[in-house]
């Protein structure tokens, strides 16, 4: 009888553990569906660039698609999503579709809150690339810390501007901010 109670207790414990485990479909849903599967920069919105800049843009897109968390507010069915980024009349356009092309939402954001941070970010990036050539490692590190700080600030602004529209985690906001800079760059 003691063995039966012990077996029953083990079975109850196993049932309780199984009940609290996330359903494999649910965990796949949050990891696989609320994310971007493709990102495209509108070619009309960006200036032609040298090979190095084009490579940086491609890497930024690859990094974003590879790892992101992206959920349009009010769209609980999930994606994955395609995101087309463009600029129209100095405004950022985020056009969101499902992989099958079904339109989900289009958000238009003023770039005014980003102007100073993007300008400062480009200036410090220029300083960083110049410093790499001749500066001491400690100077390069100091400039890079400033660059990362500005990148973080821009990402925080982006997250606040997306509030009520798109839910992202901070690393996704950082990668999106990189692409906004790529769109904003005018040579």
CA angle 72, 75, 79 (to 5 degrees): 75
- The backbone torsions φ and ψ at residue 140, rounded to the nearest 5 degrees and listed phi first, read -60, -45
Partners of residue 36 on adjacent β-strands: 81
Q: What's the residue count for the chain?
A: 187
Contact 118, 154 (CB under 8 A): yes
pLDDT of 110: 93
**Residue 56 belongs to some domain of the structure:** yes
| pTM of the shown model | 0.75
Helical ranges in 76-136 per DSSP H? 112-134
**Residue 131 belongs to some domain of the structure:** yes
Q: What is the pLDDT averaged over residues 173-179?
A: 92
Domain range enclosing 109 = 25-184
Our count of domains for the chain comes to 1
pLDDT tens per residue across span 6-60: 434 334 333 333 333 333 333 333 445 899 999 999 888 877 777 777 888 888 8
Assign 177 a pLDDT band (cuts: 50, 70, 90).
very high
**Residue 9 belongs to some domain of the structure:** no
**Residue 14 belongs to some domain of the structure:** no
In our burial notation (b when 16+ CB lie closer than 10 A, e otherwise), range 50-72 reads eeeeeeebeebbebbbeebbbbb
pLDDT of 2: 44
pLDDT tens per residue across span 149-160: 999 999 999 999
Give the position of tokens 């660039």: 49
Q: What is the pLDDT averaged over residues 165-186?
A: 87
pLDDT of 74: 87
pLDDT tens per residue across span 64-96: 999 999 999 988 888 899 999 998 888 999 999
**Residue 12 belongs to some domain of the structure:** no
**Residue 6 belongs to some domain of the structure:** no
Position with higher pLDDT, 181 vs 152: 152
**Residue 114 belongs to some domain of the structure:** yes
């Amino acid at each position: 009888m003691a063995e039966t109670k012990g077996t029953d207790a083990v079975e109850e414990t196993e049932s309780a553990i199984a009940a609290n485990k996330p359903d494999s479909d649910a965990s796949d849903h949050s990891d696989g569906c609320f994310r971007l599967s493709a990102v495209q920069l509108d070619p009309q919105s960006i200036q032609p660039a040298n090979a190095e800049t084009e490579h940086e843009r491609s890497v930024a897109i690859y990094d974003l698609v590879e790892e992101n968390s992206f959920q349009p507010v009010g769209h609980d069915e999930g994606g994955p999503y395609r995101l087309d980024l463009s600029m129209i009349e100095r405004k950022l356009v985020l056009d969101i579709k499902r992989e099958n092309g079904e339109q989900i939402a289009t958000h238009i954001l003023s770039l005014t809150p980003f102007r100073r941070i993007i300008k400062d970010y480009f200036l410090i990036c220029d300083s960083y690339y110049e410093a790499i050539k001749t500066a001491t490692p400690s100077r390069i590190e100091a400039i890079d810390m400033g660059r990362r700080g500005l990148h973080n600030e821009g990402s925080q602004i982006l997250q606040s501007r997306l509030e009520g529209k798109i839910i992202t985690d901070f690393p996704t906001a950082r990668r999106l901010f990189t692409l906004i800079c790529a769109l904003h760059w005018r040579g």
